[in-house]
Homo-oligomer: A and B are copies of this chain.
Amino acid sequence: MRALVYDGSKPRFEPRHPDPELAPGEAIIRPIAAGVCSTDLEISRGYMDYRGVLGHEFVGIVEKVHPDVDDKAKQLVGKRVVGSINCVCGKCDMCTRGLANHCRDRTVLGIAGRDGCFAERFSLPVKNLLAVPDTLDDDHAVFTEPLAAACNVMNMLRIESRPFVTVLGDGRLGLLTAQVLSKLNASVRVIGKHPDKLALCEKWGIKHRLLSDVSLRADQDVVVDCTGSASGLDTALKMVRPRGKVVLKTTVAEQKGVDLSPIVIHEIQLLGSRCGLFSDALAMLNGGEVDVVSLISRRVKFAESEKALATAAMPGTLKVLIEFE
């Protein structure tokens, strides 16, 4: 089959990549559409030391399931699905204490130990799959994974009594996170570098400012770093008030020395946040609570997906979708 593969040098479109094997408990999925995430870009710069098929955001159709799965899972064949990217053992200390996303033996779709979804076919455990409601189109459903990650920020924070919240970064994840947080009892603003991206906030009624227009006053109760850049944390630590919280979403392959002494001096809480609940995100998309379609900057045919990552890395671009035939 054809697949977009990272071999340690750069992403390559391979015409003859081996088909995925159908393992017990798993399904083979044919993607309809896939999204390019900043993590894909970081991986193709060496992050996670990953080799294999890239991609983890998708909506697809279940082609087949392993015969050992239960009847309910068998009914997924032919259906549209999205799927959680963490494939877990169910037995380790993390799984048994309800932290399965942190499974000690996990593989992660297109990120760690498991070929991703930028391919004609890929596999996931059936327990990872959620059927997409008929009322939700592909352009929305493909945002389930990044929206779930944005929802996770909300779940980690417990927002109360209208705090001042800054979402730092006006990229894909920043704009999703800002939309989610703006539903809560919080005063949310987005700080970014791109007037055209910030214009979306205007449309959504979310406050926004250019980073260059803002003085770093250590007055925000919460700062969510969605910059995807090594300097983001540095800025966040200057924006947050003493005893405030910084949520770190950014993972970057190359990290410069960040001065962490403000964390101690100002007793800041730094909270790492990664994946979220797909069910929450799917419900939110189906309820029309967030605008994801405005985030689609470009559509690239799968056969031309080598250039999808380069496009996604360009400053003006939000979400790049890879469309499969």
Contact = CB atoms under 8 A, between A and B. Distances in A.
Chain A interface category by residue count: 35 or more
Interface in A214-238: 219, 233
Nearest to A42: B261
A267 B102 contact: yes
Interface stretch (A60-68, A130-138, A270-278, A289-297): A270-278
Interface in A232-270: 233, 241-243, 248-252, 255-270
Contacts of A250: 264
A102 B243 contact: yes
Contacts of A266: 102, 272
B267 A269 contact: no
Copies held by the complex:
2
Contacts of A102: 241-243, 266-267
A263 B272 contact: yes
B267 A273 contact: yes
Contacts of A269: 269-272
A148 B268 CA distance: 18
Contacts of A274: 264-265, 267
Contact of A260 (B233, B241, B268): B233
A107 to B, nearest CB: 14
A99 B260 contact: no
Nearest to A225: B264
A95 to B, nearest CB: 11
A263 B241 CA distance: 21
Contacts of A156: 267
Given A102-B243, A266-B272, A272-B269, A255 B260 contact: yes
A269 to B, nearest CB: 5
A94 interface: yes
Nearest to A246: B270
With a 10 A CB-CB cut-off, give which of A47, A93, A243 has the most chain B CB atoms: A243
B273 A242 contact: no
A315 B264 CA distance: 23
Nearest to A271: B269
A243 B273 contact: no
A312 B242 CA distance: 30
A233 B260 CA distance: 10
Nearest to A156: B267
A6 to B, nearest CB: 18
Given A94-B242, A242-B102, A264 B272 contact: yes
Given A248-B260, A251-B261, 18 more contacts: A93-B219, A93-B241, A99-B243, A102-B242, A233-B260, A248-B263, A248-B264, A252-B261, A255-B258, A255-B259, A255-B260, A256-B257, A258-B260, A262-B272, A263-B270, A265-B272, A266-B272, A270-B270
